[in-house]
Amino acid sequence: MAVANNKTHCFTCNKEKITYPCRGCSKEFCLTHLTEHQQMLNEELNHIINDYDEFKQRINEQKQNPQNHSLIKQIDQWERKSIEIIQQKAQDCRENLVKSSQTYVNDIEKKFNDLCEQIKQIHAENEFNEINLNDLRNQLNKITEELNNSSNISIHQESQSFINEISIISSKKPKFNKWKQTANTVAAGNGQGQQLNQLNHPAGIFIDKNKNIFIADRDNHRIVEWKYNANEGQTIAGENKQGNRMHQLGRPTDVIVDEQNHSIVIADLGNRRVIQWMNQNQDVLVDSINCQGLAMNKNEFLYVSDSQRNEVIRWKMGDNEAIVVAGGNGQGNQRNQLDFPTFIFVDKDQAVYVSDFNNHRVMKWRKGAKKGKIVAGGNGEGRNLNQLCHSGGVVVDDLGQIYVADFGNHRVMRWCEGKKEGEIVVGGNGEGSQSSQLYGPCGLSFDDEGNLYVADCKNHRIQKFEIFL
């Protein structure tokens, strides 16, 4: 009886042997040369990994030195030839240029990180062939070309009677996030009350990295922590009645969490003080102040708005000296004045954004500035897209887009600095308690995924609007 011959020719040695196919190259190899072939693939993978490491280094260099851009020199030359009053415009252009460049590089870095995850998975599973390697190589070549062609940013210049105006133009448009127009109630929503599943006119809110919500439960005179996906909150400061003892609060309006030292800082409006709670111990940081809004930057500077003195002060944690960084020139609507400032936001450059409640506007005060700049509203009380009605919570994102709770219009607006009008982000469907409605929105906050949280004050609940991915 004949014996079946299952031998074929090895691609490498061309000898008739029992062979094994490679799905990547569709060739047959004997056991010895199959091992060699696999080793060659491993070496090629290591070369690609080295190329990826070099690419990552290039991205890091560009991120660490965003100011090293050839167009900065043109902006500097334009500034030197211009008169003193337009120097601020040059600085604005630098900031926009850096933001455009960073947006471009960040997008490429995201693609690169996705590729890194692919290569880690392939390397870990040890399941790959030439097709996989060619695909990795092509993807790397594609994003390398994108990085090399980053010259899609240019200067747009137009003639004016007093100066040649310049601005930054980038073909990489900033991403304007959008949110679902129906919200989920993530805290309370069980009517006005003082039970642990209820709130009473919530004001300021803070979202930590674990998506826990800290709420200034104003008319319950307490701070409530609402754990992620919990059905009720827990009181972590104050109690359900107003008082002026150290362990009591009076109509708190805002709260921030200092995650470095695991403490909370509270605007205790009814007691005219800013108080810090740490491990159930209390310490008055600022007293004799009609504190409405709070902000803290990475340098441990505490910012507090004073609605009686119509100013915002900056105070170094651990020191006793406070300086005025916005307002302080009496009640009014001039650029150096405020009228009942409430919520505030401080960016990485220590510019202060102030919700100027009775002037129906948001003001931006650069560090050291004597006057502010209107960046939202400022066209009188109203419901048009260039107006606000009693501005509430304010947050500014990494692109400089300004989000403001339009308290009297029951909506949240987004404004881009320099634009004449804003746009409705959520709400704007009249006052009400439906999932698409708000009633007196107050505090605003984002989590690390970009979901928007609103303290829906008169509905006594916290609403979460999920971001569209």
**pLDDT of 59 above 70:** yes
Query: Pairing state of beta strands 341-346 and 281-287?
Result: unpaired
Is residue 459 scored above 50 in pLDDT?
yes
pLDDT exceeds cutoff 50 at 1: no
Collapsing DSSP states into helix, strand and coil, what is residue 378? Answer: coil
Confirm if 42 and 112 have CB atoms less than 8 A apart: no
Q: Quick one: the chain helix, strand, coil %, rounded to 5?
A: 25, 35, 35
Chain mean position to CA 446: 7
Residue 427: count other Cβ atoms within 10 Å of its Cβ. Answer: 26
User: What whole-number distance in Å separates Cα of residue 276 and Cα of residue 265?
Assistant: 4
Residues 6+ positions from 187 with CB-CB distance below 8 Å:
199, 202, 213, 215, 224, 226, 233, 461, 462
Q: What values do phi and psi take at 395, rounded to 5?
A: -135, 140
H/E stretch holding 135 reads helix 130-148
- With 90 as the cut, is the pLDDT of residue 80 above it? no
Calpha distance 282→265 (Å, rounded): 10
Taking residues 91-98, report their average pLDDT.
81
How confident is the model at residue 152, as a pLDDT?
63
- Written as one letter, the residue type at 272 is R
For residue 314, pLDDT over 80 is answered with yes
Lowest-pLDDT range of 40-54, 85-99, 448-462: 85-99
pLDDT of residue 56: 84
Interatomic CA distance for residues 123 and 41, integer angstroms: 11
Q: Report the DSSP beta bridge partners of residue 214.
A: 206, 225
Can you tell me the distance from the alpha carbon of 404 to that of 443, in angstroms, rounded to the nearest whole number? 9
**Residue that wins the pLDDT comparison between 301 and 79:** 301
Q: What is the rounded average pLDDT of the residues 424-441?
A: 97
What order of strands is seen across the sheet that includes strand 452-456? 184-188, 461-465, 452-456, 441-446
Place of tokens 């851009």: 69
Q: Return the pLDDT at 84.
A: 56
Contact call for residues 157 and 93 (beta carbons, < 8 A): no
* Cα–Cα distance measured from residue 362 to residue 341, given in angstroms and rounded to the nearest whole number: 9
Query: Which residues make beta-bridge pairs with 171?
Result: none
Most confident segment among 110-124, 249-263, 316-330: 249-263
Query: Can you give the pLDDT at residue 319?
Result: 73
C-alpha 324, offset from chain centre: 26
CA 361 to chain centre: 21
For residues 428 and 103, what is the distance between their CA atoms, to the nearest angstrom?
30
Q: What are the tens digits of pLDDT across the range 4-39?
A: 567 888 988 998 889 888 888 889 989 889 898 999
pLDDT in tens, 105-130: 887 888 788 788 878 888 787 777 88
Cα(305)–Cα(307) distance, rounded to whole angstroms? 6
Burial of 66 (0-12, 13-18, 19+ CB in 10 A): middle
Q: What confidence tier does 465 reach under pLDDT thresholds 50, 70, 90?
A: very high
The proportion of the chain whose per-residue pLDDT surpasses 70, expressed as a percent, equals: 92
Alpha carbons within 13 A on the beta-carbon side of 36: 10
Q: CB under 8 Å to 31, separation ≥6 — which residues?
A: 17, 18, 20
Q: Which residues, other chains included, contact 148 with Cβ-Cβ below 8 Å and sequence gap of 6+?
A: none
Tokens of 341: 């400032």
Measured between alpha carbons, how far is 361 from 339 in angstroms, rounded to an integer?
Answer: 10
On whether the CB atoms of residues 163 and 86 are closer than 8 A, the answer is yes
The mean pLDDT value of the chain amounts to: 88
164: nearest Cα among 97, 94, 83, 95: 83
Mean pLDDT within 352-357: 98
